[in-house]
Amino acid sequence: GENVEQHPSTLSVQEGDSAVIKCTYSDSASNYFPWYKQELGKGPQLIIDIRSNVGEKKDQRIAVTLNKTAKHFSLHITETQPEDSAVYFCAASRGGGGADGLTFGKGTHLIIQP
Amino acid sequence: DAGITQSPRHKVTETGTPVTLRCHQTENHRYMYWYRQDPGHGLRLIHYSYGVKDTDKGEVSDGYSVSRSKTEDFLLTLESATSSQTSVYFCAISLQGPTDTQYFGPGTRLTVL
């Protein structure tokens, strides 16, 4: 089955700086790559996603890049703010009729230092 | 939480007792999922459903069963709870399957003593 590795497990950056979280996946058939943000005591919330026919996607301060050849994708957050502090998860799915759900990385705890 | 509720939100039970967790959605989404979240493991898929009475196993299905008799409800049952099933359980829904956006519920924290 799919295996998703996520690094780093903890990332501390100064407010206003950029943060980058990286993930690799093992199944070349995976074609959907979402990123989730989880705040303490809450369920994960989708912040951005990318499909395998696209190399990069941007939404305001957040961007995701995908390298299918190397089987890795990354989350970029620019101009970080205190409210960006949370745990971030990457995930992968290959879809298909009746196929299983998302395979998640183990998460990155992002800390924004004032 | 995209019209998803989970009940109960917290539960403490003893080893060997049966436990049922409920996920209810008001979005009329076809696909529903149960994940568990444990420190150091991220979220792992337990079971999923692709329609009423249509379910299948995920990565960590041993010790769990599910049922879906209505579009809006997806039940997760631990027939005989064990301490290894202490976890936070999340339900998720999607409209068109695993490559469509999945929306997560608020979670149920289960402690098995």
What is the predicted pLDDT for the residue at B95? Answer: 86
Instruction: Return the ∠ at Cα A51 (arms to B36 and B56), rounded to 5°.
Output: 35
Check A46 against B42: CB less than 8 A apart. no
Tens-place pLDDT, residues A19-70: 999 999 999 989 999 999 999 999 999 999 999 888 999 999 999 999 999 9
Q: Of the candidates B43, B97, B104, which has its C-beta nearest A95's C-beta?
A: B97
Q: Which two tokens stand for residue B4?
A: 């998803």
Alpha-carbon gap: B110 to the closest alpha carbon of chain A (Å): 13
* Chain A residue numbers touching B33 (CB-CB < 8 A): 101
Across chain A, mean pLDDT equals 93
How far off is chain B from A110, nearest CA to CA, in Å? Answer: 15
Per-residue burial over B30-64, b = 16 or more CB atoms within 10 Å of its CB, e = otherwise: bbbbbbbbeeeebbbbbbbbbeeeebeebebbeeb
- Over residues B39-83, the pLDDT tens digits come to 888 899 999 999 999 999 998 999 999 999 999 999 999 999 999
Nearest CA in chain A to B102: A46
Confidence at residue A98, expressed as pLDDT on a 0 to 100 scale:
44
The pLDDT score that the predictor gives to residue A78 is 98
The percent of residues in chain A predicted with pLDDT above 90, rounded, is 84
Answer yes or no: do B45 and A102 touch at CB < 8 A.
yes
Q: Is the confidence at residue B5, as pLDDT, over 90?
A: yes
Q: Say if the Cβ atoms of B56 and A100 lie within 8 Å.
A: yes
